[in-house]
Amino acid sequence: MDEHYLLTCPVCKKQFSDTYLLTCKTGCFSLLRADYSAKSLTLRNLPGIFKYRDWLPVMGSLPTCSSPICFKSSMLAAHLGLKNLWIGFSGYWPLRDAYVNTGSFKEFEAYPTVVRLRERTSGVILVSSAGNTGRAFAQVSAETDQPVIIVVPVSARERIWTTLPAKNLLLITVDGDYTDAITLGNALCSIPGIYSEGGAKNVARRDGMGTVMLEGAVTIGKMPDWYIQGVGSGTGGIAAWEASIRLIKDGRFGSDLPRLLLIQNEPFIPMVRAWQAGRREIIPDLDMPDAKGAISQVYSDVLTNRAPPYAIPGGVYDALSETGGLMDSVSSEAAREAGALFHRLEGIDPDPAAAVCVAGFIKAVHNQVIDPKATILLSITGGGYEIINQDMRIVHPPDIKVENVLNEQCTNSIKRQVTTWVSQYV
Ligand SMILES: *Cc1c(COP(=O)(O)O)cnc(C)c1O
Ligand SMILES: [Zn+2]
pLDDT digits 0-9 by tens, 151-182: 999 989 999 999 999 999 999 999 988 888 88
Residue 1 pLDDT exceeds 60: no
**222-235: average pLDDT:** 97
**10-22: average pLDDT:** 96
From the CA of 170, how far away is ligand 1's center (Å)? 23
Mean pLDDT of the chain: 95
Q: Which stretch of 40-44, 165-169, 174-178, 193-197 has the lowest confidence by average pLDDT?
A: 174-178
H-run or E-run covering 213: helix 211-220
Residues 244-259 have pLDDT tens digits of 999 999 999 999 999 9
**Mutational pocket test of ligand 1: of 87, 127, 229, 317, the residue with most ligand atoms within 8 Å of the beta carbon:** 229
Predicted local confidence at residue 410, as pLDDT: 83
Q: What's the CATH number for 124-192+396-422?
A: 3.40.50.1100
114 pLDDT band, cuts 50/70/90, is very high
**Which residues in 349-378 are b (16+ Cβ under 10 Å) and which e?**
bbbbbbbbbbbbbbbbbeeeebeeebbbbb
204 pLDDT band, cuts 50/70/90, is very high
Predicted local confidence at residue 2, as pLDDT: 66
CATH classification number, 69-104+205-387, choose in 3.30.70.3040, 3.40.47.10, 3.40.50.1240, 3.40.50.1100: 3.40.50.1100
103 pLDDT band, cuts 50/70/90, is very high
Is the shortest distance between the CB of 205 and ligand 1 below 6 Å? no
Residue 145 pLDDT exceeds 70: yes
From the CA of 423, how far away is ligand 1's center (Å)? 33
Domains 69-104+205-387 and 124-192+396-422 share a fold: yes
From the CA of 71, how far away is ligand 1's center (Å)? 20
Q: What pTM does this model have?
A: 0.96
Residue 405 pLDDT exceeds 80: no
- Give 317's Cβ-side CA count (13 Å radius): 20
**125-130: average pLDDT:** 90
Is the shortest distance between the CB of 90 and ligand 1 below 6 Å? no
Q: Can you tell me the distance from the alpha carbon of 62 to that of 305, in angstroms, rounded to the nearest whole number?
A: 29
In the chain, what are the domain boundaries? 69-104+205-387, 124-192+396-422
